[in-house]
Amino acid sequence: MYELKIEMMNLFLKQIWVWRCGGALILALFGVILSLIWLPANPIADAQSNGCPTIPPEILQQIPPELLQQYLEAVQAGCNAASSSAFTLSAAPNPGETDSIVIATAQLPNNGNPSSAQFTWFVQNQKRSDLSGIGKNVAGIVTPSTPGSLLVRVDAIGPANATSSAHISIPIILSSQTKAFQGLQNQIDDLIQQKNAVESQFDVVIQISPDAPKPSEIVILAVTGLQQDVSGADIIWFFNNKKIVGGTGAKTASAQVGPAGSTNTVRVLVTLPDGRTAEQSLSITPAGIDFYWWTNAYVPAWYRGKALPTPGSTIFIQARPSFSASISNALIYTWLLDGEIVQSASGQGKSLFAYGIPKTELLASSISVRVTNLSKTIDQTADFSIPVVSPDPQIYELRPLEGIRTAQPIQTVTRQAGKAIDLVIEPFFIPRAIFTTARYQWALNGKNLPFAATKPWVFGMTSEPDSSGDQDISVTLDNPSDSQFQLSKSMRITLQ
């Protein structure tokens, strides 16, 4: 049967090629006749597919190019006329786009009036009562946010309880609006993750007293938090891998170091009430010479901890042998930097050594001192480890009657709209020389504010009474005479 239809169409095409100048009337008649010939043997199956049969390529190749468009239109018209008795379902636009609307339209057989028919709609195999009802042959369907296929089905009960059903699978492609929204959402998610990561971090520092314990001496250990107050934290101390103290607020502990040259390991584990943890450790090697050191790095006057050396600062190290002051002043001190003798700093009574920490170069791996007397009956050597850290700027709230709220720096704070708030930046551990000439550039929501002539380290803001939302504040420190120096810190105020 199929081969017979092909042969008949080939013959008819040859006639059309000869009569191509016969006009549109011949073409229209050809389309109707061809569609009738090409109707499938099973009209019901074709009606269920909601479309005309596929025309074989070998037929299309024999049609003159200038007549192809008219031919296809004539075939479609004939097919539509032949299948007008089918129950059809169409959609527009097709394909649809994400986060949009497609309109599905059901047509009763023989162009029947839908006003008295009962239509039941299904979307993705789920009944949609809101779209169903008498006369509801048109449904507006919101498309999903992800590309794929949208399956739509409609059941109709017409006059005399005649039932019909049709379905259509509508391809859904990604719209430009959805793509832009997803890109914005990804950026928001990334910012939230960065914010959570910053807020979840905190560091602790272990301090020992004395700084350089003698053999078998008892040392006092203390832990402090740079970003958080650890008074209410659960703190566990370990000495040489053995737990020695543990409990809430156990900020100090004591231990006895071993003989000269022995390695003594201290470790502390701090867990805040919200579950965040920080761990720090250090190694103590006792010697017969104590060291006392200080640095010219900046710390606020209210800070109870010790100023720590940073790149660009100077650390001053004083060797203190285990002798009386009169004997110690008569001893010969030989200072070594990475094993090389520093002649200018060595000599009788020169117990103080100043070391300028490089800004960009490699840090000296070791500083050591050899203490002797003229007769060599005293000969002791000790190594000093440089506790270098990075500058750590922190923002605190400044209140008129209370001053700086030093309990802990702020990352985020909520304030009532219309109220004033003052902030102060404390650049912990930057070199004093830089601190005195540093410039402070404050910014509000990404826009730089004018430099303040007085107290540039203080930022004050009074919001409008009807304002609300997040206000991002940042401050950048630099130095006109040192292009390599720059620090920054940011925080957020939520107005309610």
Q: What are the tens digits of pLDDT across the range 22-36?
A: 333 333 333 333 333
The three state secondary structure string of 309-329 is CCCCCEEEEEEEECCCHHHHH
- Identify the top-confidence range among 34-38, 125-129, 361-365, 444-448: 125-129
Q: What is the pLDDT of residues 139-173, one digit of tens each?
A: 999 999 999 999 999 999 987 778 889 999 999 99
pLDDT at residue number 315: 93
Q: Which run of H or of E encompasses 32? A: helix 24-38
Cis peptide before 311 (omega within 30 of 0): no
- If asked whether residues 77 and 52 sit together in one domain, one would say yes
CB of 63 closer than 8 Å to CB of 31: no
Average pLDDT, the chain: 80
- If asked whether residues 128 and 153 sit together in one domain, one would say yes
CA distance 235 to 204: 11
pLDDT class for 196, splitting at 50, 70, 90? Answer: low
Residue 133 has pLDDT above 90, yes or no: yes
- If asked whether residues 55 and 113 sit together in one domain, one would say no
Report how far Cα 444 is from the mean position of its chain's Cα atoms: 21
Find the domain containing 30 and state its range: 2-82
CA distance 115 to 257: 96
Residue 456 has pLDDT above 80, yes or no: yes
CA distance 285 to 385: 10
Q: What angle do CA 363, 238, 380 make, to 5 degrees?
A: 50
Report the chain's C-alpha Rg in angstroms. 43
CB of 422 closer than 8 Å to CB of 388: no
pLDDT at residue number 210: 83
What DSSP character marks residue 431? B
pLDDT at residue number 212: 65
What DSSP character marks residue 418? T
Could you give the number of structural domains in the chain? 4
What DSSP character marks residue 117? S
pLDDT at residue number 266: 95
CA distance 174 to 182: 11
pLDDT at residue number 199: 60
- If asked whether residues 288 and 147 sit together in one domain, one would say no
Task: Check residues 92 and 199 and name the one with the higher pLDDT.
Answer: 92
pLDDT at residue number 6: 37
DSSP letters along 324-383, please? -HHHHHHSEEEEEETTEE-GGG-EET--EEEEEPPSSSPPPS-EEEEEE-TTSS-EEEEE
Residue 176 has pLDDT above 60, yes or no: yes
Query: Mean pLDDT lowest for which of 6-10, 435-439, 453-457?
Result: 6-10
- If asked whether residues 259 and 376 sit together in one domain, one would say yes
Reduced to 3 states (helix: H, G, I; strand: E, B; else coil), residue 93 is coil
- If asked whether residues 67 and 105 sit together in one domain, one would say no
Reduced to 3 states (helix: H, G, I; strand: E, B; else coil), residue 94 is coil
pLDDT class for 295, splitting at 50, 70, 90? Answer: very high
- If asked whether residues 260 and 118 sit together in one domain, one would say no
Provide the sign of the torsion angle of the four alpha carbons 135, 138, 144, 148, taken in this order.
positive
Query: Mean pLDDT lowest for which of 286-290, 292-296, 328-332, 481-485?
Result: 286-290
pLDDT at residue number 38: 36
- The residue written with tokens 């700027």 in the block is 393
Q: What angle do CA 224, 308, 441 make, to 5 degrees?
A: 95
Q: What is the mean pLDDT of residues 94-101?
A: 91
191 assigned to some structural domain: no
Pairing relation of β-strands 163-173 and 96-97? parallel
- The residue written with tokens 């008219």 in the block is 70
By C-alpha distance, which of 215, 184, 238 is closest to 286? 215
pLDDT at residue number 105: 94
**Percent of the chain at pLDDT exceeding 90:** 34
CB of 460 closer than 8 Å to CB of 450: no
CA distance 83 to 88: 9
Residue 408 Cα distances to 298, 404, 494, angstroms: 18, 10, 18
Q: Which run of H or of E encompasses 74? A: helix 65-82
181 assigned to some structural domain: no
CB of 139 closer than 8 Å to CB of 154: yes
- End position of a domain, from candidates 338, 368, 384: 384
CA distance 155 to 140: 16
Q: What is the pLDDT of residues 361-403, one digit of tens each?
A: 566 668 999 998 887 777 778 889 888 888 889 999 888 888 8
189 assigned to some structural domain: no
- If asked whether residues 53 and 104 sit together in one domain, one would say no
198 assigned to some structural domain: no
Tell me the Ramachandran region of residue 281: left when phi exceeds 0, alpha when psi lies from -120 to 50, beta otherwise: beta
CB of 320 closer than 8 Å to CB of 327: no
By C-alpha distance, which of 287, 288, 270 is closest to 279? 270
261 assigned to some structural domain: yes
- End position of a domain, from candidates 82, 102, 122: 82
- End position of a domain, from candidates 384, 408, 433: 384
- If asked whether residues 70 and 94 sit together in one domain, one would say no
Reduced to 3 states (helix: H, G, I; strand: E, B; else coil), residue 188 is helix
Residue 46 has pLDDT above 60, yes or no: no
Structure-token pair, residue 114? 């839908």
